[in-house]
C-alpha cells in the first residue's frame, strides 16, 4: 500500500507529529509512504518533501490579509505538490490541514477529482466548511450551515484587514470540496463529526479517530520541579497551551489565580516572551517548551490541570494530564468533554468562574489523582492503527466495486 500525506507541517506541532507517527506505523508493515508539507524547517526524512518556498508562503499570507482569499494562491507550490503526487502514484491520499498559506485548494481538488485517487481527509478544525474562520463556537455563529455572508471573525486567523469575501469563499469551498468520488472524512471528536454532518460535507462517510499520545512519555513521572521553583508546599494549578489567548481561556485563568489564596500556585506553560511582563506576580508564567518529558513532569507535579478553553475540537493537553495521573477541570466546550474519563476530572459550564474555582479547590484539596490507565484508548499506536484499518477498508471496498 502506498499512502501519501498532505499537511501544513511535518514532524512538529500536533498535526505534524500525528502524520510522522502514522507514517512510522505504516512503514512497520512495509508500506510505502510520503509526506508533502508546506512550512517549517526542512525535514531530514527522505519521505517528507516541503513544497512551499518562503516567498510563496509570505506572498500568500500577505495578500490574503487584504483579499480574504486564504487557500487561493500558492500556485507554484501546488503544481509541485501535484507533480510529487503523480511521481509517487499513491493508492490513497490522506489530507490533513490545508489552510496555512501553502496550497491552492481549488487546483488540488481539481486534480484529485480528475485523478480519482481515494482520499481520507482528517479535519482538525472547521475551516473546511466555513467562509473564513477555523472556529465559531465562541461567537455562536451558525451561518456555515446554510451560507456564510456576514463574518464577525475577520480579525482572527486567517486574518483579513479588509471587508472580507466570506460568501464567495464559502461557495468556492463548497464547489471544490464536494463531488469527490471516493472521500472519507475523519475527525478527532464526535463533536466535530456532528458539525460536519450539518455542513455541505454531510454526504461523505465520516468517522471519529481521536488524536493519540505517547504513553511512554506521558505517564506519572518524578521530578525536582517543585524544589526548583520553590513550590514544595503549594497546590499547583497547571494550564498548558501552544498559544495562550482569550480563546484558550487565559483571562479566566488569570482571574482564577486572583481568587485563590496563597496555598495555591497557578502555573502557565506556553507563553511567549512579550506576554510575560503582563502576567501577574502571583502566576508562574513559563515559555513554550518542545521538551515533552519536561511537560510530562509538570503534569505529574500538578495537583490539578485546568483547561478553560472556549473553542477546542479535541483537547490533547487534557488527555496528556490524565495520562500523567493528574485530575482535570475542563470547560464543557466543543469536543473537550470527550477527553475526560469518568473519575478523572470535572466538567464546568463554560465561562463560569465561580464553578471553575469551586471545582479546582475541591479537586486540589482532596489529594485526588487521576487513573492513567483510563487513557489507554488514546495510546498513539492503538489510535493510529485505526487509520491503517481505515485505509485498508477504503481500498478493499473500492476493489470490490461497492
> Cell for 318?
487534557
Q: What is the mean pLDDT of residues 352-373?
A: 97
pLDDT, average across residues 201-205:
98
Sequence-distant (≥ 6) Cβ neighbours of residue 89 within 8 angstroms: 2
Mean pLDDT over all residues of the chain?
Answer: 97
- Assign 399 to helix, strand or coil: helix
> Which of 78, 92, 312, 313 has the alpha carbon at shortest distance from 184?
92
Q: Which among 282, 268, 276, 280 is positioned nearest to 237, based on CA atoms?
A: 268
Closest by CA to 302, choosing from 328, 337, 333, 331, is 328
> Residue 402 above 70 pLDDT?
no
pTM: 0.95
Q: How far apart are CA 251 and CA 253, in angstroms?
A: 6
Q: How many residues does the chain have?
A: 402
Q: Please report, for residues 44, 59, 89, 131, 179, the alpha-carbon distance to residue 102 in angstroms, rounded to integers and kept in the order given.
A: 20, 10, 21, 18, 23
- Which pLDDT belongs to residue 153? 96
Residue 43 has pLDDT above 90, yes or no: no
DSSP label of 164: -
Would you say 128 and 103 are in contact if contact means Cβ atoms under 8 Å apart?
no
The reported pLDDT for the residue numbered 42 is 84
Task: Write out pLDDT tens, residues 240-284.
Answer: 999 999 999 999 999 999 999 999 999 999 999 999 999 999 999
**183-197 burial, b if ≥16 CB within 10 A, otherwise e?**
bbbbbbbebbbebbe
Amino acid at each position: 500500500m502506498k499512502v501519501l500525506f498532505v499537511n501544513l507541517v511535518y514532524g512538529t506541532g500536533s498535526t505534524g507529529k500525528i502524520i510522522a507517527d502514522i507514517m512510522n506505523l505504516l512503514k512497520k508493515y512495509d508500506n510505502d509512504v510520503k509526506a508533502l508539507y508546506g512550512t517549517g524547517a526542512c525535514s531530514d526524512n527522505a519521505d517528507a518533501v516541503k513544497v512551499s518556498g518562503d516567498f510563496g508562503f509570505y506572498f500568500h499570507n500577505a495578500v490574503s490579509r487584504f483579499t480574504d482569499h486564504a487557500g487561493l494562491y500558492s500556485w507554484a507550490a501546488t503544481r509541485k505538490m501535484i507533480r510529487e503526487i503523480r511521481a509517487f502514484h499513491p493508492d490513497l491520499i490522506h489530507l490533513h490541514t490545508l489552510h496555512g498559506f501553502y496550497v491552492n485548494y481549488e487546483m488540488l481538488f481539481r486534480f484529485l477529482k480528475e485523478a480519482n485517487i481515494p482520499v481520507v481527509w482528517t479535519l482538525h478544525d472547521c475551516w473546511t466548511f466555513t467562509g473564513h474562520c477555523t472556529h465559531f463556537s465562541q461567537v455562536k455563529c451558525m451561518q456555515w450551515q446554510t451560507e456564510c455572508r456576514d463574518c464577525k471573525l475577520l480579525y482572527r486567523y486567517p486574518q483579513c484587514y479588509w471587508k472580507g469575501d466570506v460568501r464567495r469563499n464559502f461557495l468556492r469551498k463548497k464547489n471544490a470540496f464536494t463531488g469527490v468520488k471516493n472521500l472519507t472524512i475523519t475527525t478527532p471528536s464526535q463533536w466535530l463529526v456532528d458539525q460536519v454532518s450539518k455542513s455541505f460535507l454531510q454526504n461523505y462517510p465520516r468517522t471519529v479517530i481521536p488524536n493519540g499520545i505517547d504513553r511512554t512519555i506521558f505517564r506519572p513521572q518524578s521530578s525536582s520541579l517543585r524544589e526548583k521553583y520553590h513550590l514544595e508546599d503549594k497546590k499547583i494549578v497547571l494550564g498548558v497551551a501552544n498559544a495562550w489567548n482569550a480563546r484558550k481561556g487565559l483571562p479566566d485563568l488569570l482571574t482564577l489565580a486572583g481568587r485563590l489564596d496563597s496555598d495555591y500556585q497557578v502555573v502557565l506553560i506556553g507563553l511567549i516572551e512579550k506576554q510575560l511582563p503582563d502576567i501577574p506576580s502571583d502566576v508562574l508564567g513559563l515559555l513554550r517548551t518542545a521538551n515533552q518529558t519536561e511537560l510530562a513532569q509538570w503534569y505529574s507535579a500538578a495537583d490539578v490541570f485546568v483547561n478553560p478553553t472556549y473553542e477546542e475540537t479535541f483537547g490533547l493537553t487534557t488527555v496528556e494530564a490524565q495520562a500523567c495521573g493528574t485530575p482535570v477541570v475542563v470547560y464543557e466546550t466543543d469536543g473537550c468533554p470527550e477527553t475526560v474519563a469518568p473519575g478523572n476530572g470535572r466538567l464546568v459550564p463554560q465561562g463560569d468562574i465561580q464553578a471553575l474555582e469551586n471545582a479546582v479547590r475541591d479537586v486540589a484539596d482532596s489529594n485526588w489523582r487521576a487513573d492513567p490507565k483510563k487513557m489507554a484508548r488514546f495510546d498513539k499506536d492503538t489510535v493510529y492503527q485505526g487509520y491503517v484499518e481505515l485505509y485498508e477498508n477504503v481500498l478493499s471496498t473500492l476493489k470490490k466495486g461497492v
